[in-house]
Amino acid sequence: MKILAIESSCDETAAAVVEDGRRVLSNVIASQVESHIIYGGVVPEIASRMHAEAISGVVRAALEDAKTDISDIEAIGVTYAPGLIGALLVGTNFAKGLAYSAGKPLIPTHHLRSHIAANYITLPGLEPPFLCLVVSGGHSHIVAVNDYTDFTVIGKTRDDAAGECMDKSARAMGLDYPGGKNLDIISRSGNPNAYKFPHPRIDGSKYDFSFSGLKTAVVNTIHNAKQKGEEINVPDLGASCIETVTDILTSKTIEAAKEFGFDKVALAGGVSANSRLREKMTALCKENDFRLFMPDLSLCGDNAAMVGAQAFYEYKSGHIAGLDLNSYATMPIDNIEY
């Protein structure tokens, strides 16, 4: 089954053709990074306008790269939640129009479910059930993947996501957008034990996260140094920040895997590309005799191939939308609306 997938939840306009949820025939991405660098982050209005300008060409390129046309496509999948609402609406409305004009089923696809599905492309042998740590600029979840469309949230952030913490810390250090990626690069030469930061715990919810205090601690460290006329060693500060974030993420994930009886653990989301997170999770899974699954680096960020992978399983579960499909800025991964 060939699915044309569309992704526009943030600042990447993407389209892909995916066969049977595992084989990528094309994967086209129009990045907006250069347009947002001068602002230090994504500007939602600019992102929405750029999606509207790019989406027709991106979809056309995806079909051409796959050496197919719309008549060979059996369904159209689209990210409709969660994300920047204006950006989501561009993709959702384009997909609705295309599905209507071509007479194809429309498959509503959840963004976080798609990030998890990126693992199915990289690792064709992976099947549920497994435990997945989903980490990005807007989300930090520990999710039990019971089946392809059946999820249980074991823990999630109460405030800032891990990626947001690293992005804003990077910005405070003077690093360019995308902050998390640049922080990862510069921190590889730093001392991860140079600065000591808090490891917050949530009373009554041992698997939930909180990263706002860590972000504040990093910013305060920078401000205090400036007030004293001291120089900040950015690689050391960055490495210490990343070490703290990854300590929190990995320790809770491994503990959850033990408690809930999972021997398969996966990573997903933009932050799953972080080199220290991958390194640490690899070591901990080996130590605990868990099998670890990680998406290829090219599939960690937002892309449409992952949407096509998850859309295949949503379609098999009968999740088809009508032309009244709306977009939603927020939506839980385990209790979604169509």
Residue 137 pLDDT class (50, 70, 90 cuts): confident
Q: In the structure, what pLDDT confidence band is assigned to residue 338 with cuts at 50, 70 and 90?
A: low
pLDDT of the residue at 314: 98
Average pLDDT, the chain: 96
| DSSP per residue, 143-204 | EEEEETTEEEEEEEBSSS-HHHHHHHHHHHTTPPSSHHHHHHHHHTTS-TTSS-------TT
In the predicted structure, residue 320 carries a pLDDT above the cut 90: yes
Residue 201: pLDDT band with limits 50, 70, 90: confident
CA distance linking residue 150 with residue 49, whole number of Å: 34
The confidence band for 203, taking pLDDT boundaries of 50, 70 and 90, is: confident
Q: With a cut of 80, say whether residue 233 has pLDDT above it.
A: yes
Fold classification of 128-295 is Nucleotidyltransferase; domain 5 (3.30.420)
User: What's the CA gap between 32 and 12, in Å, rounded?
Assistant: 6
Give the confidence band of 122 by pLDDT, cuts at 50, 70, 90.
very high
Reply yes or no: is the peptide bond before residue 82 cis, omega within 30 of 0: yes
Instruction: Note the pLDDT tens digit of each residue in 251-297.
Output: 999 999 999 999 999 999 999 999 999 999 999 999 999 999 999 99
User: What confidence tier does 104 reach under pLDDT thresholds 50, 70, 90?
Assistant: very high
Contact assessment for residue 2 and residue 17, using Cβ atoms and an 8 Å cutoff: yes
Task: Pick 124 or 253 by higher pLDDT.
Answer: 253
* Model confidence band, residue 63 (pLDDT cutoffs 50, 70, 90): very high
Q: Judge contact between 8 and 51, C-beta under 8 A.
A: yes
CATH 3.30.420.40 positions along the chain are: 2-116+300-316, 128-295
Distance CA 265, CA 245 (A): 18
156 Cβ contact partners less than 8 Å away, ≥ 6 residues apart: 139, 140, 141, 142, 208, 209
**Average pLDDT of the segment spanning 76-93:** 98
Q: In 3-state terms, what secondary structure has residue 226?
A: helix
Q: pTM above the 0.85 mark? A: yes
Nearest to 119 by CA among 295, 241, 296: 295
Q: Is residue 23 classed exposed, middle or buried when 0-12, 13-18 and 19+ CB atoms within 10 A define those classes?
A: middle
Does residue 105 surpass a pLDDT of 80? yes
- Would the CA dihedral through 261, 265, 269, 275 be positive or negative? positive
- Give the pLDDT band (50/70/90) at residue 245: very high
Distance, CA of 77 to CA of 89 (rounded, Å): 14
Q: What percent of the chain has pLDDT over 90?
A: 93
Q: What is the pLDDT averaged over residues 29-47?
A: 93
Q: In 3-state terms, the chain is what percent helix, strand and coil (to 5)?
A: 45, 20, 35
| pLDDT exceeds 80 at position 81 | yes
Rounded to 10 degrees, what is the CA torsion of 296, 290, 192, 178?
30
Cα gap 186→338, rounded to integer Å:
42
Checking if the pLDDT of 99 tops 70, the result is: yes
Of the CA atoms within 13 Å of residue 80, those in its CB half-sphere come to 25
The Cα–Cα gap between 176 and 161 comes to: 19
Q: Which CATH class is domain 2-116+300-316?
A: alpha beta
> For the CA atoms of 12, 18, 22, 23, what is the dihedral angle to 10 degrees?
-110
